[in-house]
Structures are given as C-alpha cells and as structure tokens.
Amino acid sequence: MALLSLQSVSKSFGALKVTDDVSFDLQPGEALGIIGPNGAGKSTLFNLITGNLRPDSGQILLDGRDVSADSVMARCAAGIGRSFQIPQPFGHLSVYENLLVAARFGGGLAAAEAPGFCMDILRRTGLAGVADSPAGGLPLLSRKRLELARAMATRPRVLLLDEIAGGLTDAECVELVATIRAIHAEGTAIVWIEHVLHALNSVVGRLIVLNFGRLLMVGDVKTVMNSAEVREIYLGAEV
C-alpha cells in the first residue's frame, strides 16, 4: 500500500485553478521530487497535503486512510512533516527551543525524551554550535538547516521539503544534500520541491512535473530530464 496517495485532488483560488486533478502515490521510504515553473502550484500541493489548505475535490490518503478533513496538527501527528520555502522559526526562541516545540507538540514526545532527541537532531543537522542562538538572527544556511531540523523533530514518516536548497552556495548545498540523504537512508520517505536540480536529482528516484497545476509527467529522473516536453516547458532548450 502507498504511504501517501493523492487522488484527483483539485484546488482553485477564485477563478485560478492552482491544483488540477492531481494524482500520485508515494511508496514507504521513497524519495520523490517535484519540479515545475514558478507558480505551477507546487507549494499549494504541499499545503493541501499538510492540511494548511483543503482541496475543493479529491482525496489525500495516508496509509490508505482519508486524511483530507484532518487538521494540520492531526496530520503532523500521523507522520506528515514539512519545511517551509520561507523559513518560519519562532524568531525569539533559541534554535534548541524551536526543536523542543516541534518535538513536544508536533512529534508528541514526552518531556523527558524530547531534550535528548532534539540534541541528536541538532548534531545531525550541524546546528549544535548555534543551539542557544535566537533563531531569528541566523544566517541563511542555518535557517535552512533549522527548517529541516524542525521538520525532523516532528518525527515524520513523510518529510515534505519546499525549496530547501534555494539560495545556498554550492558547498552549502552539498552539505545539506548529505544530511537529506542520511535522513532518507534511515527510511523516511521524502517529497522534495526544488529548483536546484543537481541537488534534487542526487537524492530522488522519481520526478513529478507540474505545469499550470496539472501533473505533466511522472517518471524516473533520467526519463523526465530527457523529455523534450519537460525541457521546453520548464528547463529551457539548453539544459
């Protein structure tokens, strides 16, 4: 059975159909990439999966159970974790405190377990050195790492990453990819929206292409990247 399944999901904002009859399955432990031009509806798809938005029609299943009407909290508790394209930490709390909030309220960890669990995530995401720093003052790489760490602290089985590599230098990107690969290697399923294709394609096995809210293509990375239609619509002729 698929871990996550979208079945004919649609969403409009007024007259604008942003998600148009989208269906796909994510298998347990799979890493799936989502690409598409700006405004194609990628982040909206994440908001529909997490419950920040409700679909106008269609179903979202987790472990075969329809979660379309469940709250954000309930879906998080059921195993859907996400990072935001624009980092959204509690700026006045420390990095460590941000993780504690995620672990206690998102991950459901008991007060006695949460500190050790969060310390481990701080180490794994390279944030141990800034654990006591206010999250609001972090530089970009650390903010990206914190987005990832906060999502990890909710103990997801499906980790949704929204443009986590955007704006990083090549060296920073390599570090972040190594962390994401390690998370995936431990069995966490990943759906990753990303414009930095070399980073994305070094982790995922399959790609989904969205265009004007519609699912244009699904396939293995090589097939999608070699598709003339995808190159024309999204990548540009010379890529």
Ligand X SMILES: Nc1ncnc2c1ncn2[C@@H]1O[C@H](COP(=O)(O)OP(=O)(O)OP(=O)(O)O)[C@@H](O)[C@H]1O
Q: How far is the CB of 193 from ligand X (least distance, A)?
A: 7
Nearer to ligand X, 58 or 115 (CB): 58
Tokens describing residue 150: 């906060």
Helix (H, G, I), strand (E, B) or coil at 193: strand
Identify which of residues 1 and 15 has a Cβ nearer to ligand X in the complex.
15
- Measured CA to CA in angstroms, residue 210 lies from 85, 148, 169, 215 at distances of 17, 24, 26, 5
Residue 121 DSSP class:
H
What binding mask, one character per residue, do residues 64-103 give for ligand X by CB under 6 A, x or -? Answer: ---------------------x------------------
Nearest approach in angstroms of CB 44 to ligand X is: 3
The residue length of the chain stands at: 239
Task: Mark residues 5-44: x for contact with ligand X by CB under 6 A, - for none.
Answer: --------x----x-----------------x-xxxxxxx
| Total residues interacting with ligand X, rule: CB under 6 A | 11
- Helix (H) or strand (E) holding 209, with range, is strand 206-211
DSSP letter for 134, please: B
Minimum distance from residue 42 beta carbon to ligand X (Å) = 3
